[in-house]
Amino acid sequence: MKERFTYLFISLFLLNFFGLNAQEKISTKAANVSILDKEFEVKSLEVSHKIWVYLPPNYEKSSKRFPVIYMHDGQNLFDNATSYIGEWSIDETLNDLYKKTKKSFIVVGIENSGTKRIDEYTPFKNEKYGGGKGSLYIDFLVNELKPFIDKTYRTKSDAKNTGLIGSSLGGLISFYGGLKHPNVFGKIGALSTSFWFSDEIYEFAKENGNKKNLKIYFLVGGKEGEMMVPDTEKMVKTLSEIGFPSKNMKTKIVPEGKHNEAFWKSEILETISFLFKL
């Protein structure tokens, strides 16, 4: 395949997301972030996931219900001690947002499964790298994890109050999950999305992309590899051609953006702001 496979696969899949160097790092997660005692087993994939939960600062002192954002690669979202090259600082960002605006969310971070991350985050196979079991992972989110979260916490459980956000392959599976289950996930953050993994995603988008109530935020950096920007633009064009509402879709291209957590951290508030009309 093209050299973009080598660049992204080696630099990201084997390093950025597996949390290999966490031993000597100091924990930075906020007090309102916890890891559930219960691990969730996906029997069809023979993996289990730790689940991180961020509760808004006003959760304990109120009786209100909150929108929920589901995010992949949970070990990289909240804590420097479990991230590989830095966290997204979701907790600090949303705590600060609450202080300034009183807007608040629950965030559920699903840890990736390490060596089977590719299987779970790709809906279609790649000839070289395999994968293609993403539908099973999305079914797990829809049928097991989300019902548990809705039962355990005070959530706004409808699609317009439920987001799915990820980067790279996490962006790919978020995009796929939103198109497959728009009645569950109404807000999709597809950041630095690995559309290169399989061209089948474009045909899937043609067949499933006319979702008038779905909102999608595309983010891509100019320094992520030669095809990342063109691939994202191709997907935007694909959706536009089948009538996806332009007002429900936003694309941001950052010329200096690189394929790493620092980039996604710097852009996550704008992503959430568009999806939830902050």
Separation of alpha carbons 150 and 136, rounded Å: 20
The DSSP H or E segment spanning 234 is helix 228-241
The gap from C-alpha 180 to its chain's centroid, in whole angstroms, comes to 15
- For residue 184, which of 162, 201, 167 has the smallest C-alpha distance? 162
Contact 141, 163 (CB under 8 A): no
Residue 112 has, within 13 A of its CA and on its CB side, a CA count of 32
What are the tens digits of pLDDT across the range 52-83?
999 999 999 999 999 999 999 999 999 999 99
What share of residues in the chain are helix, strand, coil (percent, to 5)?
40, 20, 40
What are the tens digits of pLDDT across the range 142-154?
999 999 999 999 9
Q: Is the pLDDT of residue 9 over 90?
A: no
Q: What is the pLDDT of residue 272?
A: 98
What are the tens digits of pLDDT across the range 197-212?
999 999 999 999 889 8
First to last CA, the chain: 41
Q: What is the pLDDT of residue 7?
A: 45
DSSP state letters, 123-134: SS-BTTTB---H
Q: Which residues contact 84 (CB under 8 A, 6 or more apart)?
A: 15, 16, 17, 18, 19, 20, 21, 22, 76
Contact 98, 57 (CB under 8 A): yes
What are the tens digits of pLDDT across the range 36-49?
999 999 999 999 99
Separation of alpha carbons 61 and 44, rounded Å: 39
Q: What is the pLDDT of residue 24?
A: 67
What are the tens digits of pLDDT across the range 83-134?
988 999 999 999 999 999 999 999 999 999 998 999 999 999 999 999 999 9
The structural domains of the chain, ordered by start, are 3-275 (3.40.50.1820)
The reply to whether the predicted model has a pTM over 0.85 is yes
Q: What is the pLDDT of residue 21?
A: 46
Separation of alpha carbons 178 and 176, rounded Å: 5
Q: What is the pLDDT of residue 14?
A: 46
